[in-house]
């Protein structure tokens, strides 16, 4: 473990919202050799928990840290890549996924405080691709920041395979989004959607005259002292630890990262546990710095009656006073949590994605946070339904292949079928396997809010099994019919 230092409140400094590079004096390193994670919880107990959970979920490496009593302490475990002996280090950066949304929201709030944006103005006022008088164009900035725009999770998870790193990637993405109508009218209900933060990222570009990556680096990361953090903006950045996607009962190295620059505002920031804790402390310090204290407090409050559990870029548990956000990229997962009233926080970054039902990493991430902060905020983990579905799509292709062999062996019986019942028994399997393919490849992805391309990049094993089950099912039904209507004439 590494003690980074004391998280002191930074001195107030002049903030130039639209482009001047700023520097902040942050805490001096503190040279301590031991630490206590939470009262009554020895560090050894937490280490044992991490070791056990890492083995169970198959995570190659992780970085974690805790802020408490003004002190930031970090630790690392495992390696940067499966098969490598290179250990994860304090400066090893991970993609933090949707924790990036809080950085985007903070940047928008900077523009609000600079008088460049009205928080309840429609997006059509600022983005010319959107037309006033339409549901998409009349969506307000507040609604985008709080996920009450009407765009669905499914809509927001499109383009997951777009790894474009051209400077105009976000502008081109937003042009496509402008042609999509939200699933519901703005302001009616809450539903998490990545589209919201892509639009906010483009808003930042248009109003600042800077690319999103440049704006965030100059106006957020640098002032916060996050020296090991940046926006993912090159296809193969050697600084990143390798990501790993689920592969049945294990993990597979992700050689090419699928997170393109168009997705940066909703999931493309790269950081370390230590840097994230500097940022979390900045959010809780009650000072006017990168944003006013009032602005930061507003981000961590319910955005509206329709959004009681989400502020601007942060999930809220108002009953327990917990502010948090998780993050997921193909091959990476992260979780950052604050208890602002006690000014304590914890963060964990993992270089592997969770399996749908097997090797799920949520227990590792939330278990660490709960133990480090002495809270209880476990997520809804995949239940028995997910395990049964995984079992079905894993076994079904083998069963369909076996059924084809049986059909070949019993082809004489198939050819002898006649009458209404015989026709029904021949053709009904084709109807059912068509329905099955529709459910597996269309309905199921919509229920999970993830198009097939998103499943392909996040869960390649599940994608393969879904396709195999759909195809072998149809093939079995087709083989039966070919056998039945070929060869010798029916008696």
> How many Å apart are CA 5 and CA 148, to the nearest integer?
39
* pLDDT value at residue 46: 87
Task: Tell me the per-residue pLDDT of 366-384, one tens digit each, with 9 for 90 and over.
Answer: 999 999 999 987 666 666 6
Q: Is 33 exposed, middle or buried (0-12, 13-18, 19+ CB in 10 A)?
A: exposed
**pLDDT tens-digit series, residues 108-163:** 999 999 999 999 999 999 999 999 999 999 999 999 999 999 999 999 999 887 88
Helical ranges in 3-99 per DSSP H: 43-57
d(CA 372, CA 351): 20
Average pLDDT for runs of 10 along the chain of length 491: 51 32 29 32 77 92 94 95 94 97 98 98 97 96 98 93 87 95 96 98 98 97 97 82 91 82 95 98 97 98 97 96 96 96 97 77 91 80 71 95 97 93 95 97 92 92 96 98 79 42
Estimate the crossing angle of helix 100-113 against helix 194-208, to 10 degrees: 40
From CA 363, how far away is CA 313, in angstroms rounded? 23
Selection from 280, 305, 279, 283 nearest residue 292 by Cα? 283
Q: Using CA atoms, how far apart are residues 200 and 312, in angstroms rounded to an integer?
A: 11
Under DSSP, the state recorded for 273 is H
As a whole number of angstroms, the distance between CA 18 and CA 357 comes to 45
3-state secondary structure 411-459: HHHHHCCCHHHHHHHHHHHHHHHHHHHHHHHHHHHHHCCCCHHHHHHHC
Q: What is the pLDDT of residue 86?
A: 96
CA distances from 64 to 4, 172, 201, 347, 363 (A): 12, 36, 28, 6, 15
């Amino acid at each position: 473990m590494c003690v980074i230092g004391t998280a002191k409140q930074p001195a107030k400094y002049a903030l130039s919202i639209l482009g001047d590079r700023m520097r902040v004096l942050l805490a001096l390193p503190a040279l301590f050799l031991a630490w206590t994670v939470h009262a009554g919880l020895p560090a050894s107990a937490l280490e044992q928990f991490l070791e056990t959970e890492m083995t169970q979920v198959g995570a190659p490496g992780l970085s974690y840290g805790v802020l408490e009593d003004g002190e930031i302490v970090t630790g690392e475990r495992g390696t940067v890549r499966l098969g490598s002996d290179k250990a994860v280090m304090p400066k090893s950066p991970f993609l933090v996924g949707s924790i990036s949304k809080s950085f985007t929201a903070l940047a928008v709030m900077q523009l609000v405080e600079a008088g460049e944006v009205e928080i309840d103005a429609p997006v059509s006022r600022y983005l010319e691709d959107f037309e006033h008088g339409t549901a998409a164009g009349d969506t307000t900035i507040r609604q985008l920041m709080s996920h009450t725009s009407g765009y669905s999770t499914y809509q927001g998870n499109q383009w997951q395979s777009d790894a474009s790193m051209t400077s105009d990637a976000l502008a081109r993405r937003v042009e496509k989004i402008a042609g999509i109508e939200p699933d519901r009218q703005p302001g009616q209900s809450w539903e998490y959607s990545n589209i919201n933060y892509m639009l906010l990222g483009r808003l930042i570009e248009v109003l600042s005259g800077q690319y999103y990556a440049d704006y965030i680096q100059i106006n957020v990361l640098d002032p916060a002292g996050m020296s090991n953090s940046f926006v993912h903006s090159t296809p193969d950045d050697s600084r990143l630890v390798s990501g790993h996607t689920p592969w049945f009962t294990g993990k597979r190295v992700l050689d090419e990262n699928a997170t393109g620059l168009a997705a940066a505002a909703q999931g493309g920031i790269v950081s370390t546990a230590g840097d994230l804790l500097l940022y979390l402390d900045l959010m809780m310090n009650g000072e006017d710095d990168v944003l006013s204290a009032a602005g930061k407090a507003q981000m961590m409050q319910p955005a509206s009656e329709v959004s009681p559990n989400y502020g601007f870029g942060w999930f809220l548990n108002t009953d327990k006073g917990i502010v948090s956000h998780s993050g997921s990229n193909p091959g990476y997962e992260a979780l950052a949590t604050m208890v602002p009233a006690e000014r304590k926080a914890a963060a964990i970054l993992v270089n592997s994605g969770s399996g749908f039902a097997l090797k799920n990493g949520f227990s590792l991430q939330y278990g660490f946070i709960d133990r480090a902060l002495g809270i209880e905020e476990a997520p809804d983990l995949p239940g028995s339904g997910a395990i049964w579905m995984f079992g079905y799509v894993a076994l079904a292709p083998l069963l369909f292949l076996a059924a084809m062999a049986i059909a070949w062996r019993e082809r004489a019986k198939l050819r002898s079928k006649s009458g209404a019942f015989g026709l029904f028994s021949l053709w009904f399997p084709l109807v059912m396997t068509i329905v099955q393919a529709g459910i597996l490849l269309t309905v199921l992805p919509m229920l999970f809010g993830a198009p097939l391309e998103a499943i392909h990049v996040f869960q390649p094993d599940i994608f393969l099994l879904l396709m195999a089950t759909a195809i072998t099912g149809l093939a079995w039904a087709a083989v039966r019919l070919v056998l039945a209507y070929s060869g010798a004439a029916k008696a």
